[in-house]
Amino acid sequence: MALDLLNAFVYVFQPWPFFWVLLGTTLGIFVGAIPGLTGGMLITLTMPLTFYMDSTQALLLLVAMYVGSVSGGLISATLLRMPGTPSSIMTTFDGYPMAQAGQPERALALGIGSSLIGGLIAGVFLVLLSPPLSRWAMTFSPWEYFTMVLMAIVLIASISQGSMVKGLIAGFLGMLFAMPGLNESDGQLRLTFGFHELDDGFKLLPVLLGVFVMSQIIKDAFEINKAPVSLALGQGQVLVRLSEWRRHAVNILRSGVIGTWIGILPGVGASISSMVAYVTAKNFSKTPEKFGTGHEEGIVASEAANNANVGGALIPMITMGIPGSPIDAILLSALILHNIQPGPLLFLTNGDFVWALMAAYFVANVLMFVIMTLAVRRIAKLVTIDKAFLLPVIFVCCVVGAYALSNRMYDVWVVIAFGVIGFGLDRAKVPLGPFVIGFVLAGIFEAELRSSLQMSDAGFLGILERPIALTFLAISVLMLLWPIYQQRRQRRQPTLPETSP
């Protein structure tokens, strides 16, 4: 195994493979940093351009783009509170307040360093533990997936700043907006109200662009009289000393493992990894009240986990042919287009290719760290220019992103509609993160519940036969009850008069 990996590194450091990894990482970082452009879009757009390339080099380029785009998202999340990629949502919670508080370099340095270490942790798992871990995940039944999605929704609601009720509202509202369209199980159109454009439902990218970008544009216009907060980077080092990483060691290791593990679970992307790692870090923290106010632990957890997710998500793709995230689904189609059959036999039939992919993943992570540390000021200029210059250009990018999805203006109207909805929710102090998570997970939630009920003769009681699913369910209930218990306990203690709810 070690020799295979060594040979793969020798291959990746040859001029052309290295050039493609460098190009992919750089493009990924730039695209990831620009809100409205995602790694998925970049990889999809690049895929046709790789048809004439060597298969291995083509996949190296795409994997490097994947690594770069997930990392690049932290720049706009930190400097603009607009996650460049959905996986950076959690970074906005602490990265942006920290940057606002005058420490943008430190926020970015923590994010970049955590991304590297998280990525490398996942790389180790990718090389050493992928076969046994993926075999274990394969024993999951639909009950496990269903309860895991439920747990994710409760988790995201419980981490929302302010009211948990509003967090739950956001999550379930997101789920509701994912319902229109064709129900694949029985071919029934539902909640389309006669609009044929809705037959396909609302697509993820326009909804994300609307909720996170368009709503921010409206909000910025609404608050245009506010003196602009300078988030420009100073002359401070975008590096955190090695000795300082020691106090984050446990958090970063835990988040890296969480990110890798959730990455292995099919269909659950980097957003959930960073979310679960963030909540876990908050729960283990001695200062949980600081989370959401610019706390270092929050940035570290989120960024280590979302980069680790990339490596984790590659494991089921390589070993079982199952995508670990939406971007892995695109990579999977790229494999098939290049006549490489993914699945358990891949190690036997295309061993060199698999090891090269793993080596490229490691190299892309290191290159990401070097490029972002050296060039973050230049990349940051994309997000620190005057909002009057930035917002119109961002909206044009949104239009392109949404339109290019299916070459139809309907998706652009969806962006605008969800922008208005997002702005309204924000005004009512309803968090937008759970809304998007609910929207993303609704399909998996319903499909797994349906499969569970079809497989079980005992209906909902079938869950009693699944200990892992029961554990997930118990965690969900605990997460739901914990804030209520905490609130009651706080009420019993004498406090200062409340100012407002």
Q: Measuring CA to CA, how many Å separate 499 from each of 77, 495, 496? A: 31, 11, 9
393 binds other proteins (CB under 8 A): yes
Nearest-approach distance from CB 388 to other proteins, in angstroms: 4
Binding mask 170-189 for other proteins (x = CB under 8 A): --xx-xx--x---x-xx-x-
Residue 224 or 370 with smaller CB distance to other proteins: 224
> Residue 87 in contact with residue 307, Cβ under 8 Å?
no
Calpha distance 134→120 (Å, rounded): 19
Among the listed residues 268, 277, 241, 256, the one whose alpha carbon sits nearest the alpha carbon of residue 119: 256
DSSP assigned state of 230: P
β-partners of residue 182 are 189
CA dihedral (84, 242, 277, 288) positive or negative: negative
Closer to other proteins at the Cβ: 250 or 484? 484
* CB 400, min distance to other proteins, A: 6
Helix (DSSP H) and strand (DSSP E) numbers for the chain: 22, 2
Residue from 388, 478, 481, 484 binding other proteins (CB under 8 A): 388
Q: Which of residues 410-439 bind other proteins (CB under 8 A)?
A: 412-413, 416, 419-420, 423-425, 427-430
Q: Which stretch binds other proteins (CB under 8 A): 16-24, 274-282, 374-382, 398-406?
A: 398-406
Quick one: which segment of 62-70, 126-134, 168-176, 255-263 binds other proteins (CB under 8 A)?
Answer: 168-176
Give the sign of the dihedral formed by CA 268, CA 270, CA 271, CA 275. positive
User: Which is nearer to other proteins, 377 or 387 (by Cβ)?
Assistant: 387
Query: Does residue 449 bind other proteins (CB under 8 A)?
Result: yes
Asked if 326 contacts 39 with a C-beta cutoff of 8 angstroms, the reply is no
Which of 485, 353, 394, 26 minimizes the C-alpha distance to 209? 394
Q: Does 218 bind other proteins (CB under 8 A)?
A: yes
Spell out a b/e string for 416-455, using b for 16 or more CB atoms within 10 Å of the CB, else e: bbbbebbbebbeeebbbbbbbbbbbbbbbbbbbbbbbbee
Using CB under 8 A as the binding rule, whether residue 100 contacts other proteins is answered as no
- Can residue 228 be called a binding residue for other proteins (CB under 8 A)? no
Instruction: Tell the smallest beta-carbon distance from residue 187 to other proteins (Å).
Output: 9
Judged by the rule CB under 8 A, the positions of this chain that interact with other proteins are: 45, 48, 165-166, 168-169, 172-173, 175-176, 179, 183, 185-186, 188, 190-191, 193, 214, 217-226, 386-389, 391-393, 395-396, 399-400, 403-404, 407, 409, 412-413, 416, 419-420, 423-425, 427-430, 442, 445-446, 449-450, 453-454, 459, 497, 499-501
